[in-house]
Amino acid sequence: MQNKVQETVTQSTNEGISTIAKESSTDTQTQTLANIVYFIAGLFEISLLFRLVLKMTGANPGSGFVSAIYSFTQLLMLPFRSIFPVTTTTEVGIRAVFEPATLVAMLVYAVVAWGVVRLIAILAGQSSQEL
């Protein structure tokens, strides 16, 4: 969301006084910080969602993409390991895994991002509706 800035310029000329109103949009530093926080949180959320779907569908961990997702999200999952038991099923050579901790991680990262953005707004002296 951008802040609207209205500028009024009054000029005195030989023909009289003229007033010009200009409206422009500016992105504040606070909004930029909030956007960065939401962007990073979005990357975390999407990566964790990929992890959840790939694990549940029994994706091949030897694949480059799957391996990259698992490696990156392994760091994000560290604080949430062992919260819940992992459910595993194997059928027709496919090993599907359900990790409830991934859902908890997604929820926690979303709440933390929202809290950081609220803190940025408070420190910048903005109301809750400005961000």
Q: What is the distance between the alpha carbons of residues 122 and 31, in angstroms, rounded to a whole number?
A: 12
How do the domains of the chain map onto residue ranges? Answer: 29-124
Angle at which helix 100-124 crosses helix 29-56, to 10 degrees, equals 180
Does residue 9 have a pLDDT over 70?
no
Quick one: pLDDT band at residue 23, thresholds 50, 70, 90?
low
Question: What is the mean pLDDT of the segment spanning 77-105?
Answer: 90
**Residue 22 or 113, more confident:** 113
In this prediction, residue 90 carries a pLDDT of 85
State residue 130's pLDDT score: 54
- Tens of pLDDT, residues 66-90: 999 999 999 999 999 989 988 888 8
Residue type, position 131, single letter: L
| pLDDT top residue among 14 and 5 | 14
Kindly state the DSSP code that residue 63 receives in the 8-state scheme.
S
Look at residue 25 and tell me whether its pLDDT is greater than 50.
no
SS3 sequence of 6-59: EEEEEEEECCEEEEEEEEEEECCHHHHHHHHHHHHHHHHHHHHHHHHHHHHCCC
